[in-house]
Amino acid sequence: MRIELPETALDFGRVADTALRGAGGVDLARDAESDPSAAAKAEECLASIGLYDIDPRDGLDDAVAAAELCRVGGSHAVPFPLAAVLLRTSPGTPFALVDAHHPVIDHALTAGTWTAATLTGDLFDAEPVAAVDSKVAPFAMTVRLRPTGGTAPVLDRRLSLVLGAYHLLGIGQRALKLAIAHTKVRKQFGQHLSDFQTIRHSLADQSVGLEGLDLLCRFSLWSTFTDSSPSLVDALSVRLEAQRVVKLALRVAQQLHGASGFADEYDISVLVRHAQPGLRLPTDRGATLALLRAAIEEFGFAGPFSLAEKQGAG
């Protein structure tokens, strides 16, 4: 496994970041809640840097570029279903994972018809029905599912989970940067917040957590193409860790902003709100853990030391 990302992927990420900043950055998400043209502007920006030229199924190099784009998109809370469009099954038909009992897709109005799948592989055609009408999921909609009788490829399901984790990673990294910047200018009791040891330790904890998630994302992306089994263990593992780490990073960042962390004029408030669909769809943390346990029971979990080695050593 290569830990370092290819320089071409890093360059692509920097280009994407510059383009999204130029288009408005987090303001695109803020504005899109009341003005659909902001979402269209986000798509135009992404298309201009090659969104529709990438197919993460084509191999690890293309998948790394897609992952970097999802990470950067997450850092700007871009109001567009990046992973779903990258995994489109045909032009204009995005791919998303859903809970068949409560099917909801974020940014569902991006397309009239979607390809949807459960984590167990049941395949559906999906159509948007109604907005969820939630402040923490402004673009999420319930969808109507029509079974196709097919099975979603394991690769598609793995990539959807891993690219979603990269999206959350970008959100968490941006939240940490916002928190660090805020503590350097905000004063309390005559000192900058960043001068307090407890706050420095708290920020350091979040930094370590996000760095670990970054490495796990890289491993899971590599595993997506090297594991020949039908297992989703690694992909579910990285989703579970992304849910844990990013939820905590967002909470700490919002707490350090104080009351302003709940004001929409501050980017951290927008990030927290727009992170919720990614944290909760298609599974919340409890459901992800249950699925991971079931997958480990069925396929096992490869680690540095196998169970047989441990038993032999005993």
Per-residue pLDDT, 4: 78
Strand extents, DSSP E, the chain: 95-97, 104-106, 114-117, 122-131, 140-151, 187-188, 191-192
Is residue 262 over pLDDT 80?
no
Q: At what angle do helices 60-75 and 197-226 cross, to 10 degrees?
A: 150
Is the per-residue pLDDT at 143 higher than 80? yes
**How many other C-beta atoms lie within 10 A of the C-beta of residue 189?**
7
DSSP SS3 for 31: helix
Per-residue tokens: 24? 């408005």
Confidence band of 245 (pLDDT split at 50, 70, 90): very high
The share of the chain scoring above pLDDT 90, in percent, equals: 76
Which position has the higher pLDDT, 139 or 261? 139
Residues 19 and 71 in one domain: yes
Q: What is the pLDDT of residue 302?
A: 75
And the tokens for 284? Answer: 């919340």
Structure tokens of 143?
Answer: 């969808």
Q: Are the C-beta atoms of residues 194 and 180 closer than 8 Å to each other?
A: yes
Answer yes or no: do 159 and 121 share one domain.
no
Structure-model confidence comparison of residues 169 and 134, the more confident one: 169
Q: What is the pLDDT of residue 310?
A: 47
> Do 187 and 116 have their domain in common?
no
Average pLDDT over residues 245-267: 89
| pLDDT value of position 311 | 46
What is the reported pLDDT for 184?
Answer: 85
pLDDT tens column, 63-87: 999 999 999 999 999 999 999 999 9
Say if residue 260 is in the same domain as residue 127. Answer: no
259 confidence band (pLDDT: 50, 70, 90): confident
Residues 292 and 159 in one domain: yes
Residue 304: the pLDDT is 52
68 and 106 housed in the same domain:
no
Q: What pLDDT, on a 0 to 100 scale, did the predictor assign at position 29?
A: 94
Q: How high is the pLDDT of residue 223?
A: 92
Asked whether residue 261 is domain-assigned, the answer is: yes
**pLDDT at residue 44, as a whole number:** 96
Domain count, the chain: 3
Are residues 119 and 237 part of one domain? no
**Model's pTM, two decimal places?**
0.93
Q: Pseudo-torsion of CA 30, 32, 34, 37, nearest 10°?
A: 140
Does some domain include residue 313? no
For the stretch 203-240, what's the b/e string if a residue is b when 16 or more beta carbons lie within 10 angstroms of its beta carbon? beebeebbeebbebbbbbbbbbeebeeebbbbbbbbbb
Please give the Cα distance from 55 to 53 (Å, whole number). 7
Residue 191 is assigned to a structural domain of this protein: yes
User: Is pLDDT above 80 for 260?
Assistant: no
Asked whether residue 215 falls in the same domain as residue 254, the answer is: yes
- Among the listed ranges 27-36, 212-221, 273-282, which one has the minimum average pLDDT value? 27-36
Determine the structural domain holding residue 131 and report its residue range: 95-152
What average pLDDT is seen over the chain?
A: 92
Query: Over the stretch 85-128, which tens digit does the pLDDT of each residue have?
Result: 999 998 889 999 999 999 999 999 999 999 999 999 999 999 99
Does residue 40 share a domain with residue 134? no
Tokens 């660090």 locate to 180
Percent of the chain with pLDDT over 70: 95
pLDDT class for 242, splitting at 50, 70, 90? very high
**pLDDT at residue 268 greater than cutoff 60:** yes
Mean local confidence (pLDDT), 250-273 = 88
The residue out of 65, 86, 107 marking a domain boundary is: 86
